[in-house]
Amino acid sequence: MSLVITGATGHLGRLVIDGLLAAQVPADQIAAVVRNKEKAADLAARGVEVRVADYSAPETLAGVFGAGDKVLLISGSEVGQRVPQHRAVIDAARTAGVALLAYTGVLGGPAADFQLAAEHKVTEQAILDSGLPYVFLRNGWYHENYTENLAPVLEHGAVVARAGEGRVASASRADYAAAAVAVLTGEGHENATYELSGDVAWSFAEYAAEVARQSGKEIGYANVPAEQLLAILTGAGLPEQLAAILVDVDAAIERGLLAGTSGDLARLIGRPTTPIADAVAAALKN
């Protein structure tokens, strides 16, 4: 039996593998599924088994999973292609007879009515239809979605969004990785659903004030119309489809869909979630 991490060279996948090793899981019991073997050379050097497969090429998934494996399906990054990609992984996992399939979805599950959630909802249903033992890790927003993009905020003195007074219960990427580790290494999680989010929901005005406090710069919150935000994002080089999805997420934030604080994340990881202030501090040091 192996603990198998798909998308293992991505930000989240690497943190999950780090967490498994820190939890004293023997490296030879961890398998990293990657598209590019060279990018996983550092994982192989640590004793992790590297298995090469591509979500978009179902034939490459044959033999990637074994009977009794616990699999973490980290959702693909290619919006619009994720349903067939995820179905290919689910089919391969069912054929292999894995013991558990954990999936990183989105906070709210069926109640999430924004565009980015659509593929997650279809994937969850496909997992239910497969009959496999599952865990739904419905991840909320990551701190890093904001703190990794501080340069323009500092340059222009503004956090720009169209979320009104909506709040975001974000957590760090490492927090979500720790939850996945807890599920893969623990017992009693079969067929469970966890709504994962930070302990505290913050507003964009509060976020701007925190960046200002730590940076020593004047930073405000500019709540702009959707059309203006779309123009700003596309002007910064984002593809129009992705920019439209992000604008739609802001509208969901305004409706309160990413503000839930269930406490599931803190309970799974056995500690409070990382405050947004800590993520701002880390970003300003880089």
Whether 120 and 233 share a structural domain: no
Q: How far apart are CA 77 and CA 262, in angstroms?
A: 26
Q: Express each pLDDT in 188-205 by its tens digit.
A: 999 999 999 999 999 999
DSSP string, 42-75: HHHHTT-EEEE-BTTBGGGGTTTS-TT-EEEEPP
Whether 41 and 91 share a structural domain: yes
Q: How many CA atoms lie within 13 A of 104 on its CB side?
A: 29
Q: How confident is the model over 38-52, as a mean pLDDT?
A: 96
Is 184 domain-assigned?
Answer: no
Whether 107 and 220 share a structural domain: no
Per-chain mean pLDDT for the chain: 96
Give how many domains the chain has, as a whole number. 2
Its sign, for the CA torsion 87, 88, 89, 90, is positive
What's the pLDDT at 151? 93
Q: Using the predicted structure, report yes or no on whether residue 65 has a pLDDT greater than 80.
A: yes
Q: Using the predicted structure, report yes or no on whether residue 70 has a pLDDT greater than 90.
A: yes
Whether 112 and 203 share a structural domain: no
Whether 81 and 127 share a structural domain: yes
Is 241 domain-assigned?
Answer: yes
CATH number, domain of 205, equals 3.90.25.10
Whether 36 and 106 share a structural domain: yes
Is 187 domain-assigned?
Answer: no
Is 228 domain-assigned?
Answer: yes
Its sign, for the CA torsion 218, 166, 267, 174, is negative
CATH number, domain of 122, equals 3.40.50.720
Q: Which of 121-130, 229-238, 239-248 has the highest mean pLDDT?
A: 121-130
Is 65 domain-assigned?
Answer: yes
Q: Express each pLDDT in 149-161 by its tens digit.
A: 899 999 999 999 9
Q: How confident is the model over 135-149, as a mean pLDDT?
A: 96
Whether 62 and 45 share a structural domain: yes
Whether 95 and 166 share a structural domain: no
What's the pLDDT at 82? 86
Q: Provide the domain limits for residue 157.
A: 141-171+197-259+271-286
Residues with Cβ within 8 Å of residue 156, at least 6 apart in sequence:
none
What is the token pair recorded at 166?
A: 């909506």
Q: Which residues pair with 192 in a beta bridge?
A: 135
Angle at 17 between CA 173 and CA 143, to 5 degrees: 5
Per-residue confidence band for 80, with pLDDT thresholds at 50, 70 and 90: confident
Whether 82 and 63 share a structural domain: yes
Whether 81 and 163 share a structural domain: no
- High-pLDDT (> 70) share of the chain, %: 100
Whether 129 and 147 share a structural domain: no
The model's pTM is 0.96
Q: How confident is the model over 158-181, as a mean pLDDT?
A: 98
**DSSP E strands: which ranges in the chain?**
3-6, 30-34, 49-52, 70-73, 100-106, 134-139, 158-161, 167-168, 192-196, 202-203, 220-223
Per-residue confidence band for 78, with pLDDT thresholds at 50, 70 and 90: confident
Is 99 domain-assigned?
Answer: yes
Q: How confident is the model over 82-109, as a mean pLDDT?
A: 96
Whether 61 and 98 share a structural domain: yes
Token pair 């994937």 is found at: 123
Q: Among residues 123, 139, 155, which one ends one of the domains?
A: 139
Is 185 domain-assigned?
Answer: no
Is 20 domain-assigned?
Answer: yes
